[in-house]
Structure 1
Amino acid sequence: MKKIFLFVVLLFSVVNYSQELKKPNEGKALVYFVRSSSVGFLINFKYFDGDKFLGKFNHGSYLIYECDPGKHVFWARSENTSFIEAELESGKVYIVDSEPKMGAIKAAVRLVPFDTNPEHYKTPKKFERKKKNILESILKNKEYTISNEDLEEAKKEYESIIKKSTEKYNKLKGKGEEFVQVLPEMYYNN
């Protein structure tokens, strides 16, 4: 009886990591913004593509953003601003993790692309752990969506933040700052 109970418990505790992620529409790319860590779980991070507000959410949600392929500057805002440059290919799915960091008043954010090449991790175990955490944050949580009405309202609300952050990015870029990259080959293959 104990063996059967243990088997049932194990069976239901296994998450199906082979579940496929959504695919982009023809001629588009798809980016998943996730929060795989629960640190600072109540703090909303705000997400942008250049001067376009994408949404805000805390731990327990993720955002799917369909966009044109090519170059993008994604950034997230909390106590700080984290920038990431992307070169996206048509028909591909990319994943960006939003890592919370200790801040002075609230959690800071750091955007980190999910590198799908296991050779870029110190050990295969670290790659598998990262992949598991990323996929769990998608499969166990809910997709964040924003209505067009709320999107328009937020656009006005964040107008000054967008202006200041865009100026900050351009200034840093002008000084030779190098940003984390989402490379075309970093796409997630179901």
Structure 2
Amino acid sequence: MRIKRTIANILLACTAIAATGCASLPSPEAMKTATADFQLPKLPSDGEAMVYVVRPSSTGSMVRFNVFVDDQEPASEMGYTRGSQYIYFSLRPGEHKILSKAENWADTSVSVKAGDIVFIQQDPSMGIIMARNSLVKLEELPGKYQVKSLSVGTILKTTK
């Protein structure tokens, strides 16, 4: 009986620890209030779109998630994030692929027009050797809220 209780307590503690790495967003009303007077650090220049890549989770914070545009070539790297960071860069209008490198490659496609602001979230998960990642597109309100809440990562270049 005592062993079962100990195992149950260990599982409960592990669940609590895992849950703290995946904080949920506040209500839409709270996000609207928090971002009402917030100006994004960089808006799109004439004829371009702006992309923000956010990594709100602190899971795997020491692992860099490198961000590339259109291919996996070193010249296409825009920057990288660690836990609780974001980066931004501008794109010419059209179809683009945003890629993120951790233990694995993740990607998502975006179609942008001049003046668009796109938010993409990097989600870490446990890998075999280091953190893995996936990408998901965010709506404007949660994207803007994440940028306000995070610190800037390492931006290697701001235009692709």
Instruction: Determine which of 78, 86, 97 is the counterpart of 1:62.
Output: 86
The yes-or-no answer on 1:53 pairing with 2:77 is: yes
Q: Distance in 2 between matches of 1:76 and 1:102?
A: 15
The answer on whether the counterparts of 1:47 and 1:54 sit within 8 Å (CA) in structure 2 is yes
- What displacement does 1:94 show? 0.6
The yes-or-no answer on 1:139 pairing with 2:129 is: no
Instruction: Kindly provide the CA deviation profile for residues 116-167 of structure 1, in whole angstroms up to 9, marking residues without a partner as x.
Output: 5xxxxxxxxxxx8xx2xx444311322234457xxxxxxxxxxxxxxxxxxx
SS at match of 1:16: helix
* Identity rate, percent: 27
Structure whose residues are more often strand by fraction: 2
Q: Distance in 2 between matches of 1:42 and 1:136?
A: 23
- The residue correspondences of 1:1-190 to structure 2 (distance < 5 A) are 16-18=34-36, 19-21=38-40, 22-51=42-71, 52-116=76-140, 131=142, 134-146=143-155
- What displacement does 1:93 show? 0.5
Q: Distance in 2 between matches of 1:145 and 1:96?
A: 16
- What displacement does 1:114 show? 0.5
CA RMSD of aligned residues (A): 2.3
Give the 3 Å change call, closer, same or farther, for CA 81–40 of structure 1 in structure 2: same
Structure whose residues are more often helix by fraction: 1
| TM-score (norm: length of structure 2) | 0.67
- What displacement does 1:35 show? 0.5
SS at match of 2:34: coil
Q: Distance in 2 between matches of 1:112 and 1:147?
A: 22
Instruction: Kindly provide the CA deviation profile for residues 71-90 of structure 1, in whole angstroms up to 9, marking residues without a partner as x.
Output: 00110010000011110111
- What displacement does 1:40 show? 1.3
- What displacement does 1:64 show? 0.6
| TM-score (norm: length of structure 1) | 0.57
Give the 3 Å change call, closer, same or farther, for CA 139–28 of structure 1 in structure 2: same
Q: Distance in 2 between matches of 1:72 and 1:147?
A: 18
Give the 3 Å change call, closer, same or farther, for CA 147–33 of structure 1 in structure 2: closer
Q: Distance in 2 between matches of 1:35 and 1:67?
A: 20
The answer on whether the counterparts of 2:51 and 2:89 sit within 8 Å (CA) in structure 1 is yes
